[in-house]
Amino acid sequence: MADVKWIKLSTQMFEDEKIRLIESMPEADTLLIIWIKLLSQAGKTNASGYIYLNENIPYTEEMLATIFNRPISVIRLALKTFESFGMIEITGDHFICINNWEKHQNLDGLEKIREQNRLRKQRERERKKLLGVTGHVTEGHATDIEKDKDKELEEDKEKIPYVEIVNYLNNAASSNYRSTTKKTKDLIKARYNEGFTEEDFKRVIDIKTAEWIKDEKMNKFLRPETLFGTKFESYLNQKGGKASGTDPNASKIADEYDFGF
């Protein structure tokens, strides 16, 4: 994970209508501190705005109360307020995500750091491989290798099929998402960097479309944020993929996803 030590805060933050409404509420100062702490925690997690202990364990209200050093009742009030104002989303499996995360973080800068880290690791592996064969490596030879690796990485980046994946989702779900939207591209790129393929994306779309397309409560969640987020691998490994009627747990899941805004 890239070593990132900062997030962006706008100088006009307190002119935002949502912040001004929060300032009129009881516990206003504490709520604002919790908001800043959530932004900071999202920066530490460094996962396109998601906040979690690890990819399989979301933060509970009790955990946040402990690490933020605030009463759990205030944590609950803060999360409910931020959720109702559309500042955060809480997924069905309780993962918290900051909406419009790009406002608070230079995502291009983060991706550059990740790319630099990958380059550095690949160059180190290549040097070790050469040393294992010849016992030494010249500076000129290493430079040639680095150039080749740079070229390969550039070609890999160009091969990410944003258009194909988003068009496949639009055709399957009768939606109209754009492949040029930054948040959508960040999600697809993050999964691609984890080693998933275009066919994996199509399989996830097929599985969840078959499961949710006829469910009035769930079909609105056939969207990039839900499908290509932290549960992508779980969806990919889900058995089936054919419609089998309404999910008996659909109401519970939809209630957890339905943010009321």
Q: Show me where the domains of the chain are located.
A: 13-103, 107-158, 162-257
Q: How far is CA 12 from CA 15, 30, 113, in A?
A: 5, 19, 28
Distance between CA 179 and CA 77 in Å, rounded? Answer: 36
Of 1.10.10.10, 1.10.3720.10, 1.20.1250.20, 3.20.20.70, the CATH number of 13-103 is: 1.10.10.10
**Tens of pLDDT, residues 201-241:** 999 999 999 999 988 888 888 999 999 998 999 999 987 54
For residue 247, the model assigns a pLDDT of 47
In the predicted model, residues of the chain with pLDDT beneath 70 are: 1-5, 104-117, 132-158, 240-261
